[in-house]
Amino acid sequence: MIRKVPQDFLLGAALSAYQMEGAAGTDGREPSVWDAWLARPGSGYDGRAASDFYHHFEEDIAAAAAHGLRALTLSLSWSRILRANGTVNPDGLAFYDRVIDACRAHGVEPFVALYHFDLPDAYAREGWLAPGTTEAYLRYARVVFQHFGDRVRHFLTMKDPVTEITQGYITGLFPPGQHFALGRAVRALYKMLVAHAQAVLLYKSLSLGGSIGIAHRAEGVYPLRETKADLQAARRDDVLTNRMLLDIVLAGRMSLRTRSLIGEILPDGESFATNDEELEVLGRAAAALDFFGVNYYASHFCTKPTDGTSRITHNGVGERGTSAYEIAGISRRLSREDVPTTDWDWNIFPRGLYEMLLRLHEEYRAIPIYVTETGLGLHEHPTDSVLEDDDRIDYLRQHLAAVLDAMEDGVDVRGLFVWSLIDGLSWTNGYDKRYGLFYVDYATGSRFPKKSADWLRDLAERRLMLTLNAIHTRTTKSASDEN
């Protein structure tokens, strides 16, 4: 079947500061929590040089434009812009001025995220729970809005807070490296979402005329089998994976059901407090939000945990079948035999994206949606500057088809950004898991387009793509169907 991508549907790609910029000690940038985290003995890689976007941004943005991409999502580095002593680093602002000017010169719309996992180093021990994070974030947000607000029409307050929180407080794979601290995870996520809401209201109070959103990694959460126990596991997994954030960000309040599910996953004796002032801010910010970003890579199939022990085995090297994920009292995630997986054990399940888009549409207020990240990580070894990444093309085609299906069914999706424009650092996997449309040779800094970049250029020009199958046959119940 031939599908048509609407002419006004934005095709773009995504980048993040820490994963691509490098230049970690240049022009007054101060350390972020990731610098110390990846400097621990045995980590095996770090972000000091990354893809050196800092010195290659002109070339990378020009290449994106030449391949038909009309938009880029990029994050700014807080520690390049605001120093620990509270003063502004003009060289940090000047770098992003050059990046944004290059986007504009090439007709590429910048979607600027204030924040993507890289807290300043002062918060290394406690992460977002450290005192003063929200105040510092809002100071930083004000600097960014006031400086770039005349040229940037789309801001994101933050990207992917749920991943940051689950990896930081549950799996221990991100700083601050805590394990199975469910109560802290819930409180830290809530704190981040209140900060997000305050940033939305701050932006609106400045009347800059652009729009503001947030990106959430919206992974589908399904029961592995249609049993009561698996449905319960999926519901409990979903409340932290999606439901708490969606309620707060899109509805401005947590439903009673959401609160009761949070109660089910909190450890005995731990509670979760909110106050009226915060709730008022959340409500106003949800009503003022201009768009919602969906990052989608995979979904999860949940079953009942085996016993009272939590276990995480991280497959950080791409050896298929080596991962385990089980949180006592919540869920055990398993793969499904009929669903293919990547070398890193991420299932490839475009229907999860379709169903997530429908869930947002059916359960929350209508708001424009962008798929702010989707893509496939691969081991890649080019020969003579040629890389035939057909698996990535297939992945992108299937996920774009899922988006088009959702649009046909009434969901207002405005665009899709491929993760990522260029290869970069994968937070917990290093440099061997590549996502780029453009290959980066880390030894020389040179880049070249992969076959997927050429495929995307043809798609952008002709707006036609071949889809293999209709995605949206519903055969599986998701956690949200149950409520």
- Closer to ligand BGP at the Cβ: 3 or 48? 48
Residues in the chain: 483
Closest separation between CB of residue 16 and ligand BGP, Å? 5
Residue 251 class from Cβ within 10 Å (0-12 exposed, 13-18 middle, 19+ buried)? middle
Q: Which residues pair with 215 in a beta bridge?
A: 159, 293
The answer for residues whose C-beta is within 8 angstroms of residue 355's C-beta and 6 or more apart is 220, 472, 474, 478
Other C-beta atoms lying within 10 Å of the C-beta of residue 446: 12
Q: Smallest gap, in angstroms, from Cβ of residue 115 to ligand BGP?
A: 11
Write the CB contacts of 83 (distance below 8 Å, at least 6 apart in sequence): 28, 30, 89
The span from the CA of 78 to the CA of 376, in Å, is: 27
Of 128 and 303, the one with the shorter C-beta distance to ligand BGP is 128
Least Å distance, CB 159 to ligand BGP, is 5
What's the min distance (Å) between Cβ of 425 and ligand BGP?
Answer: 8
Closest Cα partner for 411 from 74, 73, 68, 6?
6
Residue closest to ligand BGP when measured from CB atoms: 426
3 state DSSP class of 69: coil
397 or 433: whose CB is closer to ligand BGP? Answer: 433
Looking at the Cβ atoms of 73 and 476, the one nearer to ligand BGP is 73
CA distance 30 to 11: 33
Q: CB of residue 468 vs ligand BGP: minimum separation in angstroms? A: 24
Nearer to ligand BGP, 160 or 380 (CB): 160
Output 93 or 188, the one with its CB closest to ligand BGP.
188
Q: Going along 351-391, which residue ranges are E strands?
A: 369-374
Give the DSSP letter of residue 106.
T
Residues that bind ligand BGP (CB under 6 A): 16, 19, 159-160, 163, 217, 295, 373, 377, 419, 426-429, 433
Find the shortest distance in angstroms from Cβ 112 to ligand BGP.
Answer: 15
